[in-house]
Structure 1
Amino acid sequence: MTPSPEAFDRVEHPGRIEELLNALARPGGAALALEGRDSDPLPVVLAEFEPGRVLVLDVTALGERVGKLRRGLGFRLVGQGDGGMVRTPLLKAIRVQEESGRHWLHCAYPGELEWQQRRDAFRAALRVGMEASVLVRHEESGVSGLGDLRDLSLTGCRVELVAGGLNDELEDERQLLLEITFPDGSRFKSAARARHLKADPGRGTVSAGFEFETPDPAQERRLWFMVREVEREAARVAGGDRTDLAASSLFRPAAPAPLRAHPNSRFPVPPMVDRLAPSAAWLDTQMLALRQGEHVDAVQLSRQAERLLELQEEDREGLLFATRCLNNEPLLVRHGLGVAVHLLDFARARDMPRALCKALTAAAMVHDLGKALLPRELLALPVLDERQHRWVQGHVPLLLQRLDTCGWLSTPVVQAVVRDINERLDGSGYPHRRDGDELSDLARLASVVDVADILSRQRPGREPWSITDIHRWLEKNDSRFDAQWVARYQAHFGRWPVGCLVRYPDGLIGRVASLDEQGLPVRVRLRSDDGGWLDGEALTRRGEPESSLPAPAD
């Protein structure tokens, strides 16, 4: 899309017009913007011109759009010249002729041009087949994410990020470090801040527009080169069989692509974590979409619930273990998936209908997302006073309002897993202080699964609990939690449930990955520098673990 007319100066001197047209005639120098089309300019070649009479354009790369130009659709030539952006007035074809498989457009020589000194107004967009990766990192927290470069200018860039733990930093416009890597191995680093965000929950991505933080002269020169090369490569790629443009050196592969998964992972990542990652990414972008005023995407919620059902059928222990390895995700994402996967695993073991299992999984995934609509400063407080506690309780009705498009979710399931999951048998819960007589079996079960998961995780001002301490606390609070469902939960997942951290008598520490029929660990991931695995005879001879340990995410 071309800049607004107000941003340009008019150029009427014949010598100056010819000078700027010479710049557009250079390889990759010109593009064509169609009249009334709010889209990126299209690559063309200004093949020749005769001052005062005619311009001749090679428009072969436009394909079927050539016919529209032949029928009189207006257009402008745009490009760069003399350190600025150049644009012609609206032009129309005098004739279009085909010769040797190429299309040549003749139009009137412009009596004036428009020139814009602000070179940063032009964004060079990467076309299909052009790839450049971007590592985005928040230095203070160490949180990072990887994405794809979509366009580049002298003042910023647009990046499509796979959702991770960066959304808070992006929304707060905190200073981040960007590192752009091109296929030839060239890198460009700059501090930047996110100025524009758009979530795409369906794809689990966030489109972020970044503004570079006061680049120095050397960075500006580098940016100018990269913008020009991206432009040129875009023209070459779009040109098909054109041979007049050499490939840009930036896009000649000369180095392996940077690692694109789990840049913060401490240990080797099990395959199931990669399988679970799209669901985590969807939840992350759904939170951002909620904060931007949207509602829960009913179609995507259904698809993600189906995805978890399929993963559970494929490898239930692998999926349970994976919920403890999402260290790069926000707490609301990790907790939502943890509750969903454990509730699903329990429901499947009791032969609940598949439709009910899916609804339970979906509701559990999003049950806490109303907190994304609360101030983050409030959620970060380790201790809440009475007023703040009431404020936090408001997350339940906030989410219920945003679930109005999810008609496929049955009302009883939504009431049990979203509305009543924080209620307690003695009426001490929220938001409506319902007591035992008003709580369904599903709500009683969900509350046990919910509390067991959240107590096992690191939270603001609160350390995680061991699974042994969680079980004892649930048993002790039988006035608040249904003792039968507590016992059933413990019997199903066992004393050493998959995902918990255990210590053996000889001092070995590992996270349980698989259990035998007696509920004893038969495979653990070691809590050591290499994060290796231990199973078979080497684990069996150690006997039963002596204790469980608090276990923050790896």
Structure 2
Amino acid sequence: MLIDTAIQNTTSQIMKSLFDKDHTITIFSKEAAQSIAATAIKVEPDNRKITLEIKYAGLSLSPYLNNDTISFDIEASRHGHDAEEIYNIEHVPAHIIQIDTHTYHLTCQLPNSIFSSDNRGALRVPFVLGMHARVYLEVFAHELNIEGKIRNLSVGGCMVDVRLEDSIALSVDQILPGVTLKFPNGEAFSTQGRIRHMRPFGNHGHAAVGIEFIDISPAATETLFHYVAEAEFEAALRSGTQHNARARSKLFIADAKEKKMQRQEEHDQLVSAQHTPLLRGVLEIAQQLQIMLMFMKNKHLLPAEILYECVDSILYMVNHDRKALQYALTYLHDEPEWVRHAIQVGSQLAMMLISRDPYAYKTREAVAGALLHTMGKPLLISEQLPSLKIHMSPPHAEILKQHVHALSKKLSVLDWTPSPTCSDIILNANERLDGSGYPTGMQAEALSEVVRLMSVIKIINKLTHERNGQHPQQPLDAYRWVNSRPEKYEKSLLVEYIQHFGLYPIGSLAKFSNGFLAWIVDVDAKGMPCKVDVVKNLAFRDTSIDTVLFSNDFNQIGRLEGTVNPSDYNVSMKKA
């Protein structure tokens, strides 16, 4: 990247600050489900210009252009004690040159000032160069609260950054009973709000939510003017355009509680593993499914291209390195349950179907159905079912059983017709041989082979993961549970499953006789662990280990005693 001269305007200074760190640039449109990765190849501070290079194989860039303008996010990684930062630039004029079939250069004219105006003409202040404040959204009265960070603020509203998984409870035009802004010094401001827009934000599982403040009293408006003025001063001071001798705004000087929270966030972000490309692919699928849901709820479209890119990624990973994929699936433990279950079940279904027939054309559609089949659950979130994380009471469980109908209804409204195989999975994955399943109580003779297989994969996945307060079973116990219910699950398919994944599945936590715990990374032809990642010596429970051993070194940790529940030992896969 070329930088021509010294920084001479505030926007360029912000750019330089972000470009000095590890960063990613994504071009976005509020109407397009997918963002486009970009690289800054030239910055001209004197002329306030930046040239971005993109690789784009789509039919047209028009969804990302609005009257010859583009919008993009620059996301800078945490560096030292600096905060992670996303700078958002919208509707900047762009001149596009096509370099070759899939390569474009976009020369963008940057604004002179970091400040802009909201739809009412009021000053909008971006929170940049380490400025931050927290926001707490009351989604349903006295029921569900979501925490996020403020990215910009005006008297009329704010844009907040929330985790993608939390955004599933939000919808455009939704009234928020409470919106509480909390500044680093502890001062807080509360009002009501209305969601005006939502979109994916950056590349790491976040959503940008535009909120309009409503029903504000004159006194509260005056207070809000004060906060906006203080934020404006702080932003100007940090960007070098304010040389007033006055000290920095007290609002942005962290108190003891805020400092503790910042240290914890810094620690959480620094504790990360080296992500393999395959693991990054799995986590990307989790993010894409949640983006699909956002667009289904708020833009009234199903981005089928995202769905089938996720399917094709899974099929590629199965064919490329099935064992590595199986291990990577364990890293989904922190994802929403409906996302984790869909990806793990879909991946295992792909593994088994491909082993039967690598070229079966129905496999792709079956995996698509598996990725979609839980998406009706977040569609049911309401005041009656405020979260999928709560302990499900019987009334909650009855509501949740409507998820198949909710998804089918949504797909119909979106005018999207799944293929017969995909539809079969969506509608019937929760049916059982004896008619005890739902939604229609179909029996064995009406269930397809792929649905019967899906039901076995699903129940084992449910039994081996904590759900609704129930302790997860170990694989062998889960196999016995399924085997004892031949009226519900086909035994031959259970045997086939065990032949694939074994008694000690990759990704399980194994306990060895010398008191060591280790993740099973690989198994031999007999299904016995042959490569493990030792993570804890139970003689020193507060100390973590990270040592990879192969079977010829297992004498150091003792004989294999079996698999155990990671949460019993406060052990989990670590991801960035």
- Of 440, 464, 471, which aligns to 2:479? 471
How far is 1:362 from its partner? 2.0
Q: Structure 2: which amino acid aligns with 1:348?
A: I
Q: For the residues of structure 2 that align with 1:485 and 1:164, how far apart are their CA atoms?
A: 33
Aligned partner of 2:252 in structure 1 is none
Aligned partner of 2:464 in structure 1 is 456
Gaps of 5+ in 2: 1-8, 11-46, 50-116, 249-261
Is structure 2 residue 195 aligned with structure 1 residue 196? Answer: yes
Is structure 2 residue 533 aligned with structure 1 residue 524? Answer: yes
- Of 430, 439, 450, which aligns to 2:438? 430
Q: Are 1:146 and 1:162, in contact at CA under 8 Å, matched by a contact in 2?
A: yes
Q: Structure 1: which amino acid aligns with 2:430?
A: N
Q: For the residues of structure 2 that align with 1:262 and 1:137, how far apart are their CA atoms?
A: 21
Is structure 2 residue 319 aligned with structure 1 residue 309? Answer: no
- Of 541, 547, 552, which aligns to 2:562? 547
Is structure 2 residue 439 aligned with structure 1 residue 439? Answer: no
Q: For the residues of structure 1 that align with 2:333 and 2:189, how far apart are their CA atoms?
A: 25
Q: Are 1:198 and 1:208, in contact at CA under 8 Å, matched by a contact in 2?
A: yes
How far is 1:471 from its partner? 1.0
- Of 331, 347, 350, which aligns to 2:353? 347
Q: For the residues of structure 2 that align with 1:216 and 1:539, how far apart are their CA atoms?
A: 67
Q: For the residues of structure 1 that align with 2:220 and 2:503, how far apart are their CA atoms?
A: 57
Provide Cα deviations, 1:127-151, integer angstroms capped at 9, x if missing partner: xxx776868687999x9988793x3
Q: Are 2:200 and 2:206, in contact at CA under 8 Å, matched by a contact in 1?
A: yes
How far is 1:436 from its partner? 0.7
How far is 1:261 from its partner? 10
Larger radius of gyration: 1
Q: Are 2:199 and 2:209, in contact at CA under 8 Å, matched by a contact in 1?
A: no
Of 187-196 and 495-504, more deviation after overlay is shown by 187-196
Q: Are 1:262 and 1:328, in contact at CA under 8 Å, matched by a contact in 2?
A: no
Aligned partner of 1:8 in structure 2 is none
Aligned partner of 1:274 in structure 2 is 280
Of 402-411 and 543-552, more deviation after overlay is shown by 402-411
Aligned partner of 1:508 in structure 2 is 516
How far is 1:518 from its partner? 2.5
- Of 393, 417, 428, which aligns to 1:420? 428
| C-alpha spacing 1:408/1:389, structure 2 compared with 1 (3 Å) | closer
Aligned with 1:474: secondary structure? Answer: helix
How far is 1:427 from its partner? 0.9
| Mapping 1:49-128, distance limit 5 Å | 121-124=122-125
Q: Are 1:363 and 1:413, in contact at CA under 8 Å, matched by a contact in 2?
A: yes
Aligned partner of 2:332 in structure 1 is 326
Q: How many residues align?
A: 415
How far is 1:302 from its partner? 1.4
Q: Are 2:295 and 2:303, in contact at CA under 8 Å, matched by a contact in 1?
A: no
| C-alpha spacing 1:429/1:211, structure 2 compared with 1 (3 Å) | same
How far is 1:265 from its partner? 9.2
- Of 484, 492, 502, which aligns to 1:494? 502
How far is 1:538 from its partner? 3.5
Q: Are 2:368 and 2:422, in contact at CA under 8 Å, matched by a contact in 1?
A: no
TM-score normalized with structure 1 length: 0.61
Is structure 2 residue 364 aligned with structure 1 residue 370? Answer: no
Gaps of 5+ in 1: 1-26, 29-59, 63-115, 181-186, 237-244, 251-256
Is structure 2 residue 419 aligned with structure 1 residue 410? Answer: yes
Q: For the residues of structure 1 that align with 2:242 and 2:354, how far apart are their CA atoms?
A: 59
| C-alpha spacing 1:165/1:194, structure 2 compared with 1 (3 Å) | same
Q: Structure 2: which amino acid aligns with 1:424?
A: R
Is structure 2 residue 152 aligned with structure 1 residue 159? Answer: no
Q: Are 1:335 and 1:453, in contact at CA under 8 Å, matched by a contact in 2?
A: yes
Q: For the residues of structure 2 that align with 1:519 and 1:194, how far apart are their CA atoms?
A: 55
Q: Are 1:525 and 1:533, in contact at CA under 8 Å, matched by a contact in 2?
A: yes
Is structure 2 residue 400 aligned with structure 1 residue 401? Answer: no
Is structure 2 residue 485 aligned with structure 1 residue 480? Answer: no
Q: Are 1:134 and 1:178, in contact at CA under 8 Å, matched by a contact in 2?
A: no
Provide Cα deviations, 1:19-75, integer angstroms capped at 9, x if missing partner: xxxxxxxx99xxxxxxxxxxxxxxxxxxxxxxxxxxxxxxx989xxxxxxxxxxxxx
Aligned partner of 1:535 in structure 2 is 549
Q: For the residues of structure 1 that align with 2:187 and 2:295, how far apart are their CA atoms?
A: 29
| C-alpha spacing 1:164/1:370, structure 2 compared with 1 (3 Å) | closer
Q: Are 1:160 and 1:206, in contact at CA under 8 Å, matched by a contact in 2?
A: yes
Aligned partner of 2:77 in structure 1 is none
Q: For the residues of structure 2 that align with 1:131 and 1:493, how far apart are their CA atoms?
A: 49
Aligned with 2:560: secondary structure? Answer: coil
Aligned partner of 1:227 in structure 2 is 232
Is structure 2 residue 305 aligned with structure 1 residue 299? Answer: yes
Q: Structure 2: which amino acid aligns with 1:163?
A: L
Aligned partner of 2:208 in structure 1 is 207
Aligned with 2:451: secondary structure? Answer: helix
Q: Are 1:321 and 1:499, in contact at CA under 8 Å, matched by a contact in 2?
A: yes
Q: Structure 2: which amino acid aligns with 1:296?
A: L
Q: Structure 2: which amino acid aligns with 1:524?
A: D
Q: For the residues of structure 2 that align with 1:473 and 1:443, how far apart are their CA atoms?
A: 19
Q: Are 1:198 and 1:206, in contact at CA under 8 Å, matched by a contact in 2?
A: no
Is structure 2 residue 367 aligned with structure 1 residue 361? Answer: yes
Q: For the residues of structure 2 that align with 1:389 and 1:274, how far apart are their CA atoms?
A: 33
Q: Structure 2: which amino acid aligns with 1:357?
A: T
Q: Are 1:200 and 1:206, in contact at CA under 8 Å, matched by a contact in 2?
A: yes
Q: For the residues of structure 2 that align with 1:134 and 1:322, how far apart are their CA atoms?
A: 33
Q: Are 2:367 and 2:422, in contact at CA under 8 Å, matched by a contact in 1?
A: no
Q: Structure 2: which amino acid aligns with 1:207?
A: A
Q: Are 1:503 and 1:510, in contact at CA under 8 Å, matched by a contact in 2?
A: yes
Q: Are 1:456 and 1:467, in contact at CA under 8 Å, matched by a contact in 2?
A: yes
| C-alpha spacing 1:533/1:120, structure 2 compared with 1 (3 Å) | farther
How far is 1:273 from its partner? 4.0
Provide Cα deviations, 1:276-334, integer angstroms capped at 9, x if missing partner: 22221222233344444735321211122223333444443333223222344221111
Q: For the residues of structure 1 that align with 2:299 and 2:131, how far apart are their CA atoms?
A: 30
Aligned with 1:326: secondary structure? Answer: helix
Q: For the residues of structure 2 that align with 1:533 and 1:145, how far apart are their CA atoms?
A: 36
Q: Structure 1: which amino acid aligns with 2:451?
A: A
Q: Structure 2: which amino acid aligns with 1:487?
A: V
Aligned with 1:497: secondary structure? Answer: coil
Q: Are 1:161 and 1:206, in contact at CA under 8 Å, matched by a contact in 2?
A: yes
Provide Cα deviations, 1:349-376, integer angstroms capped at 9, x if missing partner: 2234364333222221121111112246
| C-alpha spacing 1:503/1:391, structure 2 compared with 1 (3 Å) | same
Aligned with 2:229: secondary structure? Answer: helix
| C-alpha spacing 1:165/1:373, structure 2 compared with 1 (3 Å) | closer
Q: Structure 2: which amino acid aligns with 1:535?
A: L
How far is 1:542 from its partner? 4.3
Q: Structure 1: which amino acid aligns with 2:285?
A: S
How far is 1:482 from its partner? 0.8
Q: For the residues of structure 2 that align with 1:280 and 1:326, how far apart are their CA atoms?
A: 8
Note the aligned Cα RMSD (angstroms).
Answer: 4.9
How far is 1:434 from its partner? 0.8
Q: Structure 1: which amino acid aligns with 2:316?
A: E
Q: Structure 2: which amino acid aligns with 1:534?
A: V
Of 191-200 and 426-435, more deviation after overlay is shown by 191-200
